[in-house]
A and B are shown apart, each in its own frame.
Chain A
Amino acid sequence: MLPIADTTVVEATWVMIVKSLAIFAVIFGILPLMTVLERKLIGRFQHRYGPNRVGPFGILQPLADVGKLLSKEAFRPANAIGTLFILGPLLPVLSGVLALAIIPWGNVQDGVGLYGIDVPIGILYFFAVGSIAFYGLLLGGWSSGSKYSLLGAMRGAAQLISYEVAMGLSLLGVIMMGGSLSLVDIVEAQGSLWFIVPQFVGFLIFMMAGFAETNRTPFDMPEADAELVQGFMTEYGGMRFGSFLLVEYMEIIVVSGVAAAMFLGGWMGPGPGWLDPIWMLTKMLGLVLLFIWVRATLPRLRYDQLMGLGWKVLLPLATLNVLVTAILVVTT
């Protein structure tokens, strides 16, 4: 079998299986906790407690939620397009899981790379795989046969074209400074100075585009629970709806992971080598908290406002950032 991409360190197959299982176990352990954390924090931001009834401090709330979702009927509207409707929630899950693979948790230690996979095309893989999630959104919204879903999907498409370019450009500065596309190499290049300092503009643009990528407030127009009743998810019920929600959190983790690796020095931190994944996780959780904080603060933008922001502000800024970085990298 041909390898999908050149890997820099060759490992035994069982090592890779164990690694992927470990990543799954950790991330899928964090995901439900993140939903509780988000609901509790949003509550605190609004002077209330949030869920605190199920289990100690409401920590078992996701269990109750999933139990409820599983007991629901997998409903399908009469004029939905069957296959695509089922494919809708599956594609984003696939994309999220695939994107998890490149988040670096640490460098090679004892012959084992503490990452899912380190590909030389690194960050391109993230963009390629991350964009698949939007197909799920578009297909799900279109095939539902409902106007709210279609509107949500349309907004999703409009959103996609406005932030993707700026997102790619925002990382270009980091790639130039790191001199590599591989996330591991980029983290290694941040040994002395985290890239958030020289690339602060890039970080801001990336985070804004990240909010749009994950469909989070203030850019949650595809969902827009107020006016589109969850947009592309309107017609979904049960665990299909649940997987859309799950993917949203998975994407937050992925975007936080990439941002932490690209700008916050990834696993860099004081302490012995085995602390590396914990440092990485801490930085990711910090960014997740930022996501929640922003959600508690900002109202939803109209989608022409997002397009204006993407094309008129973020794109020129990102281009300028790339230009200045390029000149500085070449001259020094």
Chain B
Amino acid sequence: MAEQVYYWQALNRALDAELAADESVITLGEDVGLFGGSYRVTAGLYAKYGEWRVRDTPISEGSFTGLAVGAAMVGLRPMVELMTINFALLALDAIINMAAKIPFMSGGQFPMPLVVRMPGGVAKQLAAQHSQRLEQTLMNVPGLRIAVPATPQDAYWQVRQAIRSDEPIIVLEHELLYFGKGTLDTSLEAPPMHRAQVRRQGNDLTIVTYSHMLDLSLRAAEQLAEKGIAAEVIDLRSLRPIDWDTCGASLEKTHRLLVVEEDSRFAGAGAEVAAGLTERCFYNLDAAPQRVAALELPTPFNAALEAASIPRTVDIVAAAQKLCAH
């Protein structure tokens, strides 16, 4: 039953399936109801499930995310849509101080079946306040899990798994992925939510990446193949926890690590990946791990500068060639 669908459609179907399966599932956020969601993810759900289960909220990110925390404590399974990840900064108290800590500081008494979806990343000239990555901030919070689906297939299953989980889960969706198409086969058994996937096999180096940078990394791998370099490309799919085993097994074969992230380099997600794999696989490495990451800049509005501020395919190819020259 494989078909080609848009990423947003995969998310829409996942939500529809879970809303239908369990009446404690609700979704809420700005314009998720009547309007159908800024990226169409909740299209049609308001008419089908009604206003209590598909709730348009006021512009109050801190409190409607906190509201979802309270609802989750008494057995609802809320999925919050923050219109963009940039607004998540207003909801961090609810996410970090409440959702991630209540199960812990109550001594394990409360479930927290909360999902917070956040479209983010650098899209097209949305300027500094609407072109942001926050994975590094959220990765540092014990008690949270973070899914970063890069394909419609993963978007579908990881969101369904997230809704069914009793832990608080952040789903980071890249804005450039919504209107890309990919294969969705709902009959395929879903891998565990946190398991990394080898998207391309190779023996010369391992590229570890996630989200939208997967597309660029796969394109870079194509170009590298033409130059005689066989890159293995791993899609992390989850940033907390990280599947060290899948990455480590690849490094046993390739001995070289290149981390590709859209986040800025300093203290970013790639720093944790590189450090974690260096600790685990130091004696398997033939060269120091390298990172391709964004420049240390708020995202510029100017199109050329914006493009130059984040990794391009050519940057990944160059870094891989340099790494393999050692």
**Is the A/B pair a real complex?**
no
A residues contacting B by CB (< 8 A) are none
B residues apposed to A, CB below 8 Å: none
